[in-house]
Every structure is written in C-alpha cells, then in structure tokens.
Chain A
Amino acid sequence: MNIFLTLMKREVLENQNGYIRVPVILAGITISLVILAMLGVGELNFVNSMDHHEVENFGDALSLAQQEEGDELPAAVTVGYWALSMITWMAFPFVVFFSLLGSLYEERRDRSILFWKSMPVDDWQEVLAKLLAPVFIAPATFLAVTIAAQLTIALIISVVTLFQGGPVLELWPVGLMIVGWFTAFMHYLILAVWALPLFAWLLFVSSFANRMPFLWALLTPAVLIAIEAMFFETTELVRWIAIHMGGWQEFAFDGFGRDVDIDGPQELFRMMTSGWQGEALSYTLTSGSFWFGTIIAVGFFFGATEMRKRAT
C-alpha cells in the first residue's frame, strides 16, 4: 500500500502542471472575473428581470430574491457557484487526455524508465498507478481547487453584500455546497469507470508509440470508424466510443427525471444530488456494454503492461 501511495504521489508531482497549475490558474481567472463583476454591479439597474426601482446593487437583488423566492435561493446560490466553476472544469478532459497519453511515452523518451525499473516496483503496479491517477487524483485536485475557489468567491461576494446591506448568510448554503462537492466527485467516478476502456486505450498507445502518440490515439479509431462506415455502413464504433464518453447517461436516466417538471434551481439540484448517482450505479452494474467495456479496458491494461516490460 505504501508503494502505491508513493506511486500516486509521484503521479501528482509529474503531472503538477495539469493537475494543479491549470485548475489554479483557471480558478484564479474566474475569481478575478467575479471581482470585476462585483465592482461593476455596485450600481445594478440594467438587469431587466430585476427592473425594480428599489434594486440598486447586488445586496438589494439578493434581498429581493430572498423575499420572493426564499425557498429556491440556497439551491440557486449553490448552482451559481458551480456555474462559475465550469471554466476550471472545461480543462479537465484535456488534462486527463494528455496525462494518460504522455504517461508511458515520456518515461521512455527521457530514459527515466531505466531509473523506475531499477526500483522494486512491478510493471503492472506502475501501469495501474498511471491508469488510476486520472480516475482518483485528477478529479480530487480539481475538486480541491473548485472548493477553494467557491469559498473564495462566496467570501468576496459576502464582503460586497455586507457593505451593501444584503442578507449575507444567504450566500452560504454550506450544507448544499458540501452535498454538491461530494456528488460531483461521485458522479465523476461513475463517468470514469465507464471511460476506463478509453483511458486504457490512451495508456496502451503511450506504451508502444515511438513518436506522436497523439496521432496514434486519434487516427487509429478515426480510420476504423471510416472503414466501418465504408464497408459495413454502420456506426457501431463511434457509438461505442460516445457511450463510454458519457453517452451512457442517456440510457441510464431514460425515464428518470422525464416526469419531473424541473421548475427552478431547487428541483434541479435535488434531482442532481438525490438518486441520480444511485440510478447511474445500478444501471452501470447491470449494463452489458459497461462490462464489455471493462473487459476491453483490462485487455489494453495488459497490453500496456507487456509493452512496458519490454521497454528500455
């Protein structure tokens, strides 16, 4: 276990740029934008829907929202914080993609593989660490940055609201925020186990490509998709990839939420946090295509391990 923790720590260090610097910079940009916006809405009288003569600033708007939609406000605030976190998470798929693609490729290129191999760590342990880093570590660091950013944004808005005499406590729906963070992580984990065959494919490419793993990773499926379309006039492969990239949710939530009329942030939030993950999990575990994908993932994993055994 100690070995595995050390390997994971190394993955964080090696991917510092993607795992830590990128989200920190993007969250920093978001926070700057919030500060700019707060400075700008000192005089708030241009928003149509809030065209009340007594609404002059953010604090007033918050007071009004509290009066008229008090039930909805905590969920609305939480969803709002997440909306502001989206800039950070937009980079996430790219970070995962490139860290997987470089993982077994860079160590061969800079010859550090010979140092790693001089240590009593089996190849399968190394490959497993590199496969699991984007499943657990990357979302954990992104989430940590997200949490820090959401708290910072709440603090900034609170200070402004305090000066404007608005209901500051409404900006701290702490319970909902915690539920939101937890839910986001759990939801990502389910997305990630579905995406495992794709992750393992990238890892496999990085274990054998001598040059341009990027092209190998994308061109190979592109060519296969084209061949399939030309000779069989079907689109099975592209569908399969789409399903594992998140398309499975379409089926998992088929019927779920359809009969619910989402009329407000509270409903939306409740739907996203309650039952959604449970539904997703039970769908996942009983889905044939999930298990088929897992077998494919295991295949690529063994391929990558075998390639690494032979690499110097």
Chain B
Amino acid sequence: MTDYVIEARGLSKAYGDFQALKPVDFKVPLGRIVGVIGANGAGKTTMLNAVLGLMSFDGELSVMGLDPSKERGKLMQEVCFIADVATLPKWMKVAEVLDYVEGVHPKFNRSKAMSYLGRTKVPLDRKVRALSKGMTVQLHLAVVMSIDAKLLVLDEPTLGLDIIFRKQFYASLIEEYFDEDRTIVVTTHQVEEIEHILTDVIFIKDGDIVVDEDMETLTQQYIEVMVAKDNEEEAMALGPIYKGVSFGKSTCVYKNKDRETLAKLGETRRLGLADIFVATMTGEGQ
C-alpha cells in the first residue's frame, strides 16, 4: 500500500492543440483536506476527472495504488465524488437511490444514510426531480458520507446553494466524516468558506500547478503591510508582489520576507487564502 492517496508525475491532458493540463507533479497523503483552487477553465475539473478515472490522460497517475483510467470500477470502492453538476438520477425516488447504492457498493452503510437524512427534510418517497437544490445536495452528501471511502472528491459541491446550506455542508463533513484515515479534495469558488478547514492548497493557473503547499506554510509566506506614508519608497524597494490601496493608504503584499523588517514599514497582517490566491494569480508572486 502506498503512503499517498494520489501520486501524479507528469500528469497532463491535451484536447487537440489545447493543453488543458500541463505536465504536473503532485502528491496527496492520507488524512488531508486539499483545496484545489483556480479560475474557471484553469484545469481543476480536468485534473480531478483524471484522478477519478473519468477520462484518459498522459503521464503517470496512481490513486490508491490503482490506475484510474484502467480500474475505475475497482477504484470507486475506495473513492467517492460529487461532480460539479447535479448528477443524481432525477427519475429515481430517494429510497430507490439508497437501494441502488446499497446494491452496488459494498462499503455503503444504509442506516448511517438514513440517520443523516432523518435530520433533513428530504422525503424518502419523493423523486429526485421534485427535490429542491439544497435537498438534492443533502441527499448526495448523505450517500457519500455513508460510504466508507478513503478519498472523497468534491467539485464545487455547494454551487447554487444558499449560505446556510453551505455552512451546514462543510460542518457535517468535518464533524461527522473527516478523520485521519480519509482524504478530501475539494474545489470551490467560495474560498473563504473552506479556508479554515483546509490542510493543503493547490493553485492551478492555465493548466499548471503554481502553488502546492500546506496551509500553515502558505499563510506564513505572505504578509500584507499597510505602508506608513514615509516608508513608501522603502516598501517598494523590498519588491512587493502585489500593490493596492485601502483607506487611502497603500498596501503591499510580500512573499517570503522577514516579518521583523516588514513590521517597520507599517501595520502587518496575514493574508486570507482568497487574497493570497488573487495576489498569486494577478501579481508577480508566482
């Protein structure tokens, strides 16, 4: 058994002339929550589809020690995913969805699913078609959380949901599902909502991985300074990767600079993940 849930070396995907994913290397260990963050069309879904065995790819890729492009069926015993669109079959009743999963998945625990659903308003005898968007996601989450898998991949799982559903979604994921024997890979645009649960971050830009760090290291690297008026020249000399203005003061973002030095320029603070992402994508911080 490998120590890594996902190991990719030179993983790439081209559609004709278009290089959707440039050759990338990355490793995801067990017991992590990895955020894959990138703009639309940056290659997130391409990367995840390769990991899930949903498409062919070039390079080496091993997920749970298996080749996803050849052994998807076997792989899905250990891996679960929720794609970025509503995929539950609309013509099925909720109870029939559970019957089906129980019939094909050896690691599905029906009573667990029932207890999750018992806390929602999802009616068992209703067709998926007739459920609200929020209920559909609750059902899907109840199904995947009741499967004893090692890797859970969530591609924009909360798209189109209101804030209360989104909060509940991540709360139940952390409180009732995640442990050191599982790994979750999640992509979302609502970076603020997941940054406190992430242990690792991968930034993707134009089909390439530009950042692959654990959260702690990443957030320590970036410091924003509200530069005091007299220190502007000095601040520029230190080579900020991103410049902005807030409340009439100029702000500079630095990567890998000594905190003590920066503190002399003005008030410092750590950057949130969203700001780090923006700084990385638009500034010279890559």
Contact = CB atoms under 8 A, between A and B. Distances in A.
Contacts of A110: 89-90
B26 interface: no
Contact of B91 (A14, A125, A309): A14
Interface in A258-309: 309
Contacts of A120: 73-77, 104-106
A104 B208 CA distance: 33
A112 B77 contact: no
B90 A112 contact: yes
A274 B126 CA distance: 48
Interface string A102-115: 00000100111111
Nearest to B69: A309
Nearest to B84: A114
A112 to B, nearest CB: 4
A111 B85 contact: yes
B257 interface: no
Contacts of B72: 117, 122-123, 309
Nearest to B129: A110
Interface string B227-251: 0000000000000000000000000
Contacts of A118: 52, 76, 80-83, 87
A13 B96 contact: yes
B105 A13 contact: no
B80 A312 contact: no
B103 A111 contact: no
B89 A119 contact: no
A3 interface: yes
B278 interface: no
Interface string B63-105: 0000000001111110011110111111110001001110111
Contacts of B120: none
A4 to B, nearest CB: 9
B89 A115 contact: yes
B103 A125 contact: no
Contact of B92 (A2, A6, A13, A310): A13
Q: Contact residue range for chain B? A: 20 to 34
A238 to B, nearest CB: 36
Interface in B130-165: none
Interface residues of A, number: 28
A239 interface: no
A9 interface: yes
Question: Which of A113, A119, A310: most chain B Cβ within 10 A?
Answer: A119
Contacts of B105: 119-120
Interface in A92-144: 107, 110-123, 125
Contacts of A123: 72-73
Given A7-B104, A119-B105, A120-B73, A312 B55 contact: yes
A21 interface: no
B56 interface: yes
A145 B92 CA distance: 23
A312 B49 CA distance: 9
Contact of A112 (B53, B73, B88): B88
Contacts of B104: 3, 6-7, 119-121
A5 interface: yes
B54 interface: yes
B86 A111 contact: yes
Given A5-B103, A114-B85, A115-B88, A121 B73 contact: yes
Interface in B160-193: none
A3 B55 CA distance: 24
A310 B92 CA distance: 24
A2 B103 CA distance: 7
Contacts of A119: 76, 100-101, 104-105
Nearest to A13: B96
A125 to B, nearest CB: 7
B73 A125 contact: yes
Interface in A17-71: none
B87 A13 contact: no
A310 B15 CA distance: 13
Contacts of B53: 117
Nearest to B45: A312
A122 B54 contact: no
Contacts of A5: 103
Nearest to A118: B81
A113 B55 CA distance: 13
A115 B54 contact: no
Given A117-B54, A119-B76, A120-B74, A3 B103 contact: yes
6 contacts: A114-B54, A114-B83, A117-B54, A119-B104, A123-B72, A123-B73
Leading 6 A-B pairs by shortest Cβ distance: A6-B103, A122-B73, A120-B76, A115-B87, A114-B87, A112-B89
Given A10-B100, A117-B72, 13 more contacts: A9-B100, A9-B103, A110-B89, A112-B89, A117-B76, A118-B52, A118-B87, A120-B73, A120-B77, A120-B104, A121-B73, A122-B73, A310-B56
